[in-house]
Chains A and B, each alone.
Chain A
């Protein structure tokens, strides 16, 4: 008996030690006052701006850091830490006038030296360890002109550099703090100039921020933010329903009616620049035959899928870009749904009824997963036996896709952040690019070249329209829909606008 009592005591002690490490209890909405709790699905694990591309970083990081240039909810660029900028005629020099009387959260002054430090770090050996550096390769170096003016010298002309300066890698970091503590500490205890300052962080659990009363854009009306990282979508919705979270990112469409039906909650849909499509790998028969591709496209009723499975939360597209993208041709109508034509095309192509084809896709996209199952039925109706191959997401995008290990049909999604079709089109249709290991076409190359080598937007638009047409005729991919992200918000939160780029902006947000 004594042995057992000892054992039980030891176990309880172990539990107490474990539980003792837990942090402040979460509280229901009523007791939270002017602080907010936000639940998101992923913890990027490193708050250093040069360390990642993940959207989940932006949700938090943009409260702590600012860039020279800022992006609003309307996705338009505006002055951030730089009040104005100008460029030389050859475009190889940019001069930025900096905002005065701004301090970092640790008391350091923001000035030209800080900007130089940031870019030296980004472009130097520290930045070489992270993925952001590659985005800023067009910059040669940054010079201090005076305490509130910097000159950025470019290696090559970069027409989208101003857009890129709103990106993570270019967010300004405090020189003294980073040098004193080192990059690893900085990644877990970030300091910036943003509207909220870091208080504490527990990996994969929560991160707490407090309002920065001396923020240059005005003090936030919310006193504190707690971000909680909850990977399972059903749990995030439960947190909203239980009143323990105020804002939930990534509400799945399947739970939309739950949020809408709750008297305390609001569902905020927002269109994002991300577009989903299915692509064909022409090296895997029968996808090499354009008639087969057109048949598959004609067999699937995408509008019906959007209306039912997506409950209308998605916009039909005809090319692989959102309506906001430059290069979009509104006169090009989406492929029509025509199962009879699909059958005749298949017969023409000599594809016998009952032929097996497979569709590879990342398993974590719940909406596409359901759409894919509907496609099994649609393709079955025209005589194709579709097998689904769900692949774990990271494996899919880092191994299967770039090495052409998919089946003849596969899923692809892409966020066109530059709002210009060039970025997407080049990566997807130019021969040998990372996302395009197999496909190539002479006309496509011609049009791509035409739009890349000029700055005249009219010429570029015409090139894009020809490109759009050619891709449409080739049917090398089947653009499906532009994604709509769903956010769930508690009604005690006022002034929250769902962000199309996942960068939550909380300066104007208050609680009732």
Chain B
């Protein structure tokens, strides 16, 4: 709703040029335009223009320090048949869906724990949220140290303390465990956001619904399935889509932990973009890597923004 009808009667009176302007631009247009001007300038300069420039650059052959040469869709076509790129796409999907799936489950556990009758609830809420506010790079570095082959505490716990394994595992240097390791760090960092959002959603479900279900003889599990889950549907959709975008585009965790290795086993699109751009200095191709998934991401963003706006009303 761009223009309110609330003040129209006044504006409709025969009047000056200003009334016509107000009718056309809205009753608060002067203060409105003034207040949004900084956002408009910022968005145009730092998001919209770079974004359009990116689309243009992805259609060129561009090396750092050289003028771009227009090549049409060549970058995209080349990528489609490029084994490294295909692997990075595959890995990005594994990384994203693996992480988001576990975050959903752990977030639900967290929310259920925090709505039960435990003591010091707000204290525990605060504690469980810490991974979400701590700097991602610091967390990634912590895990790099924890996963360390010879001196890391994980191998120490598994080999020396509990004896579960007879010898240490190179968590980040073996292809089989590297992907699981980077995924687990992403889960660790991201699940509290799911938890706190579900917690807020659960608090909004009217207590009468649970009482009514109990009166009808519903078990705990039935109440969860028939009252809690439907009540959380919108929030779950929003949180899953948000996290999908964030996880798909997460750079720091993989870059710090493996740089895409070993041998490309954890190579994901954001890290590949960075490496082609600043390692190989091929900017056009790098941007094509970043933009290749744009249609899919754009669909997610549009659907998500619809849900988020609806949640506000």
Q: Do A and B bind each other?
A: no
Measured CB to CB, the residues of A under 8 A from B are: none
